[in-house]
Amino acid sequence: MNLISRALGVLILACAGSGLATAQWNELTVGGKTIDVHGFFSQGFAVSDQNNFLTMPTSSGSFAFTDFGLNASTQLTNNFRIGAQIYDRNIGKLGEWRPEIDWAYGDYKFADWLGVRAGKVKTVMGLYNDTQDLDFLHTFALLPQSVYPTDLRGQNIAHTGADVYGTFGTEGHGEIAYTGYVGELPLDRFGGYVYGAESAGVNLKNGGALQSGGDLRWNNLLPGFTAGVSFLNQAYNANGVVNLEQVLGVPGSAPYSMKSIGDHRTQFYTEYRKGPLLLQGEYFRRTWSIDTIGLEKFSSDERGWYGAGTYRISPRLEFGAYHSRYYPSWKETDFSQPSNHIYDQAITANINLTSFWYVKLEGHFMDGYGVGYSFRGFYPQDNPQGLKSRTDLFVIRTGFNF
């Protein structure tokens, strides 16, 4: 009965939100400046046949799949704009209703080819990293988890620092856009990184990373075709407490400290649009090594990719599918083992009930579950009876924006 009541409540909120969105109340004037106010809300339901997924009890069905955000921005001068967004989510044990400043920065644009952003700035990487909070822009209820894991959203979406960016037009071949950045990444205490560490007996207290990276893309290199590459270097460190009983089989606990020796990521992506058809593909490789007090050094070579296609039947209806693959360690030679891979085949229907209200129906057919540091939905503590090699998952997600 509680699940039904909550579902009805979500639908009522969505209907109300779609009506409010037409009232044009999201523009305010203060001191002669126009302030644009926007927001979004989404609610999902997920049910799986075997493994629990994304820290939710999906094997029995779960409505613990909620997020929302509210942002405001204004143009202070012709060249200078400021804005910020508050975001909150509760996806199983991720987020746990603790609001955060998702992004907050000032943006000064000298010319099309040169601009500067500073503050807590969204990290440009691949096709979707800096827009993964805007579910209403995407066809899929869950982006391909090989490249955009929901567990690590708080770790990946923004950095505190500064960006330099710009675009250059080319004669008859679209434009080239670039972004370069430096900054610091804080530890997301309510994300998948900390939650996954718990399964290994480590209780992380604090941490962070110094980052530098960039993105270079060529929009409309050919009509409808975009290609790009992103790269990231970071030096991560964290500390906390390790459970010696769980790790070494001896009673007690001890201080834990970890630092990355090298952490590098490169990501390639392409996109092709023609009429109602959209084709996309991305591939990343991340190599990293860590050094921990009292334990051996550890390194890994992560790789993942996906291919996706969507087709809009009408302004109100769009279908899509993707095939996603993730390998936690390319060093492993037997990828047939479920701990050495996660394959995900997804199909979806995206229904736009109004201009501001959508419903997505999506099926996932997954093979494998990865390892503890995959941070892609499968955790031992959520599956005490042991992880199964295959998982079928059905997701319904509805939301509105204004």
Q: Distance between CA 61 and CA 4 in Å, rounded?
A: 12
Distance of CA 275 to CAs 75, 223, 225, 366, Å?
34, 11, 12, 31
In terms of DSSP bridges, do strands 202-222 and 27-30 run parallel, antiparallel, or are they unpaired?
A: unpaired
Q: Which two tokens stand for residue 209?
A: 């990373």
> Is the Cβ–Cβ distance between 97 and 66 less than 8 Å?
no
Please give the single-letter amino acid code of residue 33.
Answer: K
Listed in sequence order, the residues at least 6 apart from 322 whose beta carbon sits closer than 8 Å to its beta carbon are 140, 144, 306, 307, 308, 309, 344, 345, 346
Of residues 216, 233, 209, 148, the one with CA closest to residue 180: 216
Q: For position 200, what pLDDT does the model report?
A: 84
3-state secondary structure of 375: coil
- Write down the pTM of the prediction: 0.90
Q: Distance between CA 315 and CA 312 in Å, rounded?
A: 7
3-state secondary structure of 33: strand
150: left (phi over 0), alpha (psi -120 to 50) or beta: alpha
Q: For position 157, what pLDDT does the model report?
A: 94
Q: What backbone torsions phi and psi does residue 56 show, to the nearest 5 degrees?
A: -95, 150
3-state secondary structure of 185: strand
3-state secondary structure of 290: strand
- CATH code for the structural domain at 2-401: 2.40.160.10
> Is the Cβ–Cβ distance between 181 and 211 less than 8 Å?
yes
- DSSP for residue 244: H
Q: For position 4, what pLDDT does the model report?
A: 40
Q: Distance between CA 329 and CA 298 in Å, rounded?
A: 11
> Is the Cβ–Cβ distance between 240 and 203 less than 8 Å?
yes
Q: For position 294, what pLDDT does the model report?
A: 56
Q: For position 326, what pLDDT does the model report?
A: 98
Q: Distance between CA 9 and CA 326 in Å, rounded?
A: 36
Q: For position 13, what pLDDT does the model report?
A: 46
3-state secondary structure of 64: coil
Q: Distance between CA 290 and CA 121 in Å, rounded?
A: 26
Per-residue pLDDT of the chain (402 residues; tens, 9 = 90+): 344 444 434 444 444 444 444 445 677 777 778 999 999 999 999 999 999 999 999 999 999 999 999 999 999 999 999 999 999 999 999 999 999 999 999 999 999 999 999 999 999 999 999 999 889 999 999 999 999 999 999 989 999 999 999 999 988 889 999 999 999 988 899 999 999 999 888 899 888 889 999 999 999 999 999 999 999 999 888 899 988 888 778 888 888 888 888 899 999 999 999 999 999 999 999 999 988 765 667 888 999 999 999 999 999 999 999 999 999 999 877 899 999 999 999 999 999 999 999 999 999 999 999 998 899 999 999 999 999 999 999 999 999 999
Of residues 142, 57, 140, 88, the one with CA closest to residue 379: 57
Distance of CA 313 to CAs 205, 256, 320, 400, Å?
49, 54, 11, 21
Listed in sequence order, the residues at least 6 apart from 114 whose beta carbon sits closer than 8 Å to its beta carbon are 164, 166
Q: For position 171, what pLDDT does the model report?
A: 84
Please give the single-letter amino acid code of residue 376.
Answer: R
Q: Which two tokens stand for residue 211?
A: 């980052």
Distance of CA 286 to CAs 72, 147, 217, 301, 328, Å?
35, 11, 20, 6, 10
Q: For position 188, what pLDDT does the model report?
A: 92
> Is the Cβ–Cβ distance between 364 and 344 less than 8 Å?
yes
Q: Distance between CA 151 and CA 64 in Å, rounded?
A: 14
Q: For position 8, what pLDDT does the model report?
A: 39
Q: For position 296, what pLDDT does the model report?
A: 66
Of residues 114, 38, 32, 119, the one with CA closest to residue 71: 38
Of residues 76, 75, 65, the one with CA closest to residue 42: 65
Per domain, the residue ranges of the chain are 2-401
Q: For position 22, what pLDDT does the model report?
A: 42
